[in-house]
């Protein structure tokens, strides 16, 4: 559910800010977000037969998100550097 809510939130923000916005560039193709939704959907059927397999897939998604996602931070820092360089060149 959280992966679906995250995906909807990201799409809503991109829609409101535009496809060329800083946020849209930072998110890119959102591989981790889309992969999470697919893996959660994949985990539903085994839950009826082998709950341990479903739990394993959920742990896999959690492990994927333990790796820090630096996309937004990288783009924001790059923009700040560009703005700082522009201010210095104006002075």
- Is it the case that residue 1 has pLDDT exceeding 80? no
Q: Which of 30, 15, 38 is nearest to 72 (CA)?
A: 30
Q: Which residue has the higher pLDDT, 90 or 42?
A: 42
User: Distance between CA atoms of 58 and 55, rounded to whole angstroms?
Assistant: 5
Q: Is this model's pTM higher than 0.75 or not?
A: no
Q: What pLDDT does residue 91 have?
A: 63
- Average the pLDDT over 68-73 and give the result: 78
- pLDDT tens across 15-65, in order? 999 988 888 888 888 888 889 999 999 999 999 999 999 999 999 999 998
Inter-residue contact 14 to 23 (CB < 8 Å): yes
If pLDDT is split at 50, 70 and 90, which confidence band does 67 have? confident
How far apart CA 50 and CA 45 sit, in angstroms, is 9
Comparing CA positions, the residue from 34, 27, 29, 26 lying closest to residue 4 is 34
Helix (H, G, I), strand (E, B) or coil at 39: helix
- What separation in angstroms does the CA of 88 have from each of 35, 74, 76, 78, 80? 42, 21, 18, 15, 12
| Number of residues written out for the chain | 91
């Amino acid at each position: 559910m959280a992966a679906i809510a995250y995906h909807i939130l990201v799409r809503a923000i991109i829609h409101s800010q535009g496809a060329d916005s800083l946020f849209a560039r930072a998110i890119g193709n959102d591989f981790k977000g889309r992969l999470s939704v697919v893996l959660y959907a994949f985990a539903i059927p085994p839950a009826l037969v082998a709950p341990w397999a479903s739990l394993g897939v959920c742990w896999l998604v959690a492990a994927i998100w333990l790796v820090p996602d630096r996309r937004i931070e990288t783009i924001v820092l790059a923009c700040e550097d560009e703005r700082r360089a522009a201010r210095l060149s104006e002075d």
